[in-house]
Amino acid sequence: MSHGDELFDVVDEKDHVVGQAKRSECHGNPTLIHRVAHVLLFNGSGELLLQKRGVHKDVQPGKWDTSVGGHLDPGESYLAAAKREMWEELGVAGVPLTFLYHSRIRNDYESENVASYLCLFNGDISFAREEIEEVRFWSCGEIETCLGQSLFTPNFEEEWEMFKGFQRKYSSREEGNIGLGEGGRYPDLIRGLISEGGG
C-alpha cells in the first residue's frame, strides 16, 4: 500500500468516528476531519526538540515542526499513536508521556483533531532519515526569535503559542513539583521555561 493509500478514521466535530478515507483524500479536503498525535520533547535544559520535515513531504516540506507528529491508525488511541510515532520518528521508547491538551487544526488544506503530549528526554535520538531531514534542540529564546520567518510550519507556530498559554496557566512554580507520568496533570517541567524566551 502506498503512502497516499493509508486509511485514516474520519471523525465529526465531536471526534466521533463516522467513516474512513485515504490519506490522499484527507489531505486537500478539509471536510474530512482526521486524528493526529503530537509530542513536545524537552531535554533537561529546557530546550525543545524540533524536526525538519523532509523535502518530499506532501505538507510543509523542508520546514521545522513539532518534536513528533503523526496520524492515528484506524482504531488507535491518541496515546498509543504518540508512543508509536515517538519510536518510528525518533527511536525513543519507554518514556512517560503527560497529556497536555486537545486542539483543532482547520485550514484550506486539511482538518485535524490533535492530542498533544509532553515528555522529558535526555537520551540518544535516532531519527527516521527517510522522513526527517534533521533534528535539533532549540531554546525557547531561539524559537521566539524565529517565529513568523517561514522557518516553522504554521501548525507548529500555532502549537507553540498554545503551549505557552497552557504553561503560564497551569505551571505551579513550586520546588520539587515535577510530575511526569502517563495520565498525570501538567507538570512544571522546567521552572521559568517560557519566561526564558520572553514569552
Q: What is the pTM of this model?
A: 0.83
- Label residue 160 left, alpha or beta by phi (over 0 means left) and psi (-120 to 50 means alpha): alpha
> CA dist 105 to 2, 10, 14, Å?
25, 14, 14
Rounded CA separation 34/109 (Å): 12
pLDDT at res. 187: 47
Question: What is the pLDDT, as a whole number, of residue 175?
Answer: 43
Contact 138/50 with Cβ under 8 angstroms? yes
pLDDT of residue 3: 61
Minimal CA–CA distance to 96: which of 174, 15, 41, 175? 41
Cell 521559568, located at residue: 192
Domains of the chain, CATH where assigned: 3-184 (3.90.79.10)
Per-residue pLDDT of the chain (199 residues; tens, 9 = 90+): 456 589 999 999 999 999 999 999 998 999 999 999 999 999 988 899 999 998 888 778 899 999 999 999 999 999 999 999 999 999 999 988 888 889 998 988 889 999 999 988 999 999 999 989 999 999 989 999 999 999 999 999 999 999 888 877 665 444 443 334 444 444 444 443 444 444 4
Residue 187 C-alpha from the chain's centroid = 17
The whole-angstrom separation of Cα 159 and Cα 185 is: 19
Enter the C-alpha cell of residue 81: 499513536
**Among the residues of the chain, which ranges form H helices?**
23-26, 78-90, 140-146, 154-170
